[in-house]
Structure 1
Amino acid sequence: MKSRIRFTDLYIKNLKPMEKDFWAREGLGFAVRVVPSGEKLWYYIYTFQGKKRYMWLGSYPAVPLAAAREACEVARAKVKTGVDPLAQKEAELEERRRAPTVAELCAEYLERHAKQFKRSWQKDEQMIKRDVLPEWGKRKARDITKRDVVLLLEKIMDRGAPVQANTTFALVRKMFNFAVERDILEHTPCHGVKPPAPKVARDRVLSEAEIRTFWNNLDACAMSNESRRALKLVLVTAQRPGEVIGMHTDEIKGDWWILPGERVKNKKSHRVYLSTLAREILAEAVAENKEKQGIPGDQEYHGFMFPSPQRAKVQSIDPQALIVAVGRALASPVLDQNFKRVLDRDGKPATVNRLDVAHFTPHDLRRTAATFMAESGEMDEVIDAVLNHAKQGVIRVYNQFKYDAQKQAALESWSRRLIGITTGVKGKVIAIGSRSKPA
């Protein structure tokens, strides 16, 4: 059945299916194929290098007549210039099929960049698993738009984690820049996107009143006991949050916590004196770990001080756990009687600051401890030794003095002052658990 008339919508609609496929042709290769099921398929039929080609242009009415005719004209123009439009289309489809998904891009970024150049690559991996893959994992990396990036960051902001939103943005931006550098993508969707939250000054130090409020309000926050104790220990020992949460009983030798070089920023083993207050926090952690694992009281506990709740994996809590815990405590969602999020006047999820302290990060607790030590008259060299800051210049080579005695005195002095700050009574010991040393 052939037709030399110009197609109209009425003509196409009136084409009735038969027992076998049949074609209706307008001319110049533009045709419609009608199959027994009643489906009508647009085609451009042409000859290229002596071979007859059938290029599918879509189905009617999903692809209307005008769109199908325009696609046919575009393909016809390519043939005139010596380009096979069907081969080109197939090549584009194959290229798209082989184009990486976001999940594949993330895997390549972690292997080729993060693991090779970033000591904290595991933090990148955790952020990717928590926020990036659930939203974009199955999508093609080339399909991610600027709007997608904005919506992802707003979702993190809405759960009350502004710092995490900024950190995730920095990671996503780096990952897409990595893709552009490796010619995986032509452009990054992060171009023109600004950090979602104002940057918090890095000189944040909690005041005495804020320390007292923070310490005493921790129990009112929805976080694990592991996170509560780890946050306290960051403040007590002035060590990095990531180092604190990875603490293992193998690292504790008497009253000293010996951090191996592979666990510290400057790759040099570090000795931290465990003050009375620090030992009390650890004793409480040991007691709870024994209870959870069914270890008799007279037996020693061996393992991470702040173990992950995922019993299938023997590891410490997540590297981002403290950041997330503090973020949620500073901006906890407000729920109604049906446990649904309450919105504020601007239509955004309402939050409440359960710590009742201005915004800070876990790392600010370390800075706070160092600042109070300085106010108490500790020498800069001693504070640097407590913080395990790398020495610079000639002193790095010739000054091998470990300052153990000075570090012990400084941390015990800070412990006593911290007890006075949190209780309001100088010299009073906070009852937070057994006085026994970690077993």
Structure 2
Amino acid sequence: MKVTRFTDVKIRKLKPEERKYLRGEGNGFNIRVTPSGAKTWLYLYSFDGKRKELNLGGYPEVTLETARSKFEEARKQVKNGIDPAAVAEQAQEERRKAPTVADLITEYIERHAKVFKKSWKEDQRLLNREIGPIWGKRKAKDISKRDVTLLLEAIVDRGTPAMSNQVLKITRKMFSFAVERDILQHTPFTGVKALAPNKSRERTLTEAEISTLWQKLDHAAMSDDVRRILKLVLVTAQRPGEVAGMHVREINDRWWTIPGDRTKNGHEQRVYLTDTAIEFIGNTEGLGYIFPSPHKNKEQSIDAHALPVAVRRNLEWLIKDNDGKKVYGANGKVAKENKLGIAKFTPHDLRRTAATFMASMGYMDEIIDAVLNHVKQGIIRTYNRHKYDKEKRQALEAWEQKLLSITTGQSCKVIPLVRSA
């Protein structure tokens, strides 16, 4: 083996031969050239009487300067009685066992989200959609603060700043969970701030919007079940997910009892069913879930996520020609139409709208909170066990009459508000 002082020029000029060969510059620092032309940096040394070889990386990916630095470090280890090849093998094994981000997502969902969050399916959906495709195959410990920033910026740039904040919230929690369980030594989310302001949603529909939406829903591009659920959210003022998961066993005559394991706050909720609500629930004979999933043989309810998806699609419905191809406007953008006839809203805004109208009719906050199943605060939470069944029924019947007058354009008898003395 020839010994020479390495330079970049000399390394580049090394040509492949019929057999692999080595070139070295002394002290065990070598480069191997194979017949295919591949060049690999090596450290050849003796340890415990055995001849050993440490791969320092391939050229030109690993530069001469970097390879020499690795060689000097390994040489120091040998002088101090440490086998650098064994150290490298241990590090490689630890890295092999280190979890990927996909592994971390699975563990976070199983060990944390499913245990502590009723909305764990939303976490799972978000992580699988926004994080898995981008980071899934990477080692969780390799994710840097810069990676986080670039991810959030990409989400903002596609026009969904609110989603950027949600991704930050859930992914930060997942990495903190990994630190708590000693899966990772640190989280790359330290010091990362939201890129968009968190805006509290205050959207409520006006009477004109309610009237328009009520009519447009009948002709919207969505299933009849989704259409009925959206109207029931407005009629009952309950959460979209709770309405979507309604089961026959929860209904007893005029009362719908939502068990605590299905409510956001974990408290059982009793909802009075008005005539309009019963109409949209329909015939329950032979049913389990009122709104069964179309994909799971009716053994599960329709996925609550289908509601906002259906609303978004109908608010920006793509216009296509007779051949099914997209139509473009004069501005070069894909032409869209609003099949629902009103400004952007979410299914949850329908619940807020119902509550707002009940307030405008004079119902006290305590009654509206009871209708909405909001947790009472302070001493009221401890001592006020009154269920407000009578008041909830009165408020929902009054709201039904107001809603019918809005949607039919006809004057309906509004139940007067009776205040206790």
TM > 0.5: yes
> Counterpart amino acid of 1:87?
A
Separation in 2, partners of 1:213, 1:156: 33
Pairs within 5 Å for 1:11-410:
13-19=13-19, 21-80=20-79, 83-150=82-149, 152-153=151-152, 162-218=161-217, 222-283=221-282, 300-311=285-296, 314-330=299-315, 339=325, 355-392=340-377, 399-410=384-395
Separation in 2, partners of 1:14, 1:329: 65
Q: Is the 8 A contact 2:156 2:164 kept in 1?
A: yes
The alignment partner of 2:270 has SS state of strand
Taking every aligned residue pair, what percent have the same amino acid on both sides? 55
Q: Is the 8 A contact 2:4 2:23 kept in 1?
A: no
Give the 3 Å change call, closer, same or farther, for CA 237–30 of structure 1 in structure 2: same
Shift of 1:326: 3.6
Match of 1:432 in 2: none
> Counterpart amino acid of 1:301?
G
Shift of 1:169: 2.5
Give the 3 Å change call, closer, same or farther, for CA 373–11 of structure 1 in structure 2: closer
Q: Is the 8 A contact 2:16 2:34 kept in 1?
A: no
Shift of 1:357: 4.0
Q: Which of these residues, 393, 401, 407, is aligned with residue 416 of structure 1?
A: 401
The alignment partner of 1:27 has SS state of coil
Q: Is the 8 A contact 1:161 1:331 kept in 2?
A: no
Match of 2:5 in 1: 6
> Counterpart amino acid of 2:51?
K
The alignment partner of 2:56 has SS state of strand
Shift of 1:100: 0.8
Q: Is the 8 A contact 1:123 1:319 kept in 2?
A: no
Q: Any gaps of 5 or more consecutive residues in structure 2?
A: 414-421
Give the 3 Å change call, closer, same or farther, for CA 380–421 of structure 1 in structure 2: same
Shift of 1:301: 3.4
Corresponding residue pairs, total: 411
Of 146-155 and 302-311, the range deviating more from structure 2: 146-155
The alignment partner of 1:257 has SS state of strand
> Counterpart amino acid of 1:109?
Y
Give the 3 Å change call, closer, same or farther, for CA 229–6 of structure 1 in structure 2: same
Provide Cα deviations, 1:284-303, integer angstroms capped at 9, x if missing partner.
Answer: xx5xxxxxxxxxxxx92312
Shift of 1:172: 0.9
Shift of 1:254: 2.2
Shift of 1:353: 5.6
Q: Is the 8 A contact 2:248 2:287 kept in 1?
A: yes
Provide Cα deviations, 1:402-428, integer angstroms capped at 9, x if missing partner.
Answer: 433332232122112112223333349
Provide Cα deviations, 1:22-53, integer angstroms capped at 9, x if missing partner.
Answer: 43322121122344555443211123454432
> Counterpart amino acid of 1:384?
D
Shift of 1:332: 5.6
Give the 3 Å change call, closer, same or farther, for CA 78–261 of structure 1 in structure 2: same
Provide Cα deviations, 1:276-328, integer angstroms capped at 9, x if missing partner.
Answer: 22122222xx5xxxxxxxxxxxx923122222222257211224333334444
Give the 3 Å change call, closer, same or farther, for CA 211–153 of structure 1 in structure 2: farther
Shift of 1:144: 2.7
Give the 3 Å change call, closer, same or farther, for CA 307–11 of structure 1 in structure 2: closer
Shift of 1:55: 0.8
TM-score (norm 1): 0.79
Separation in 2, partners of 1:378, 1:139: 54
Separation in 2, partners of 1:177, 1:348: 41
> Counterpart amino acid of 1:68?
A
Shift of 1:197: 4.3
Provide Cα deviations, 1:253-285, integer angstroms capped at 9, x if missing partner.
Answer: 2232122232223434322111122122222xx
Separation in 2, partners of 1:96, 1:261: 43
Shift of 1:236: 0.8
Q: Is the 8 A contact 2:179 2:187 kept in 1?
A: yes
Shift of 1:247: 0.5
Shift of 1:101: 0.9
Separation in 2, partners of 1:243, 1:273: 14
The alignment partner of 2:208 has SS state of helix
Separation in 1, partners of 2:109, 2:128: 12
Shift of 1:76: 3.0
Q: Is the 8 A contact 1:331 1:354 kept in 2?
A: yes
Separation in 2, partners of 1:221, 1:157: 29
Query: What is the alpha-carbon root mean square deviation over aligned residues?
Result: 3.6
Separation in 2, partners of 1:148, 1:343: 37
Bigger relative CO (Cα 8 Å, ≥ 6 apart): 1
> Counterpart amino acid of 2:374?
H
Shift of 1:162: 4.9
Provide Cα deviations, 1:131-179, integer angstroms capped at 9, x if missing partner.
Answer: 3323332221123344544554466567765544432331111111222
Give the 3 Å change call, closer, same or farther, for CA 38–77 of structure 1 in structure 2: same
Give the 3 Å change call, closer, same or farther, for CA 144–81 of structure 1 in structure 2: same
Separation in 2, partners of 1:45, 1:381: 80
Of 138-147 and 248-257, the range deviating more from structure 2: 138-147
Separation in 1, partners of 2:212, 2:262: 31
Q: Is the 8 A contact 2:318 2:326 kept in 1?
A: no
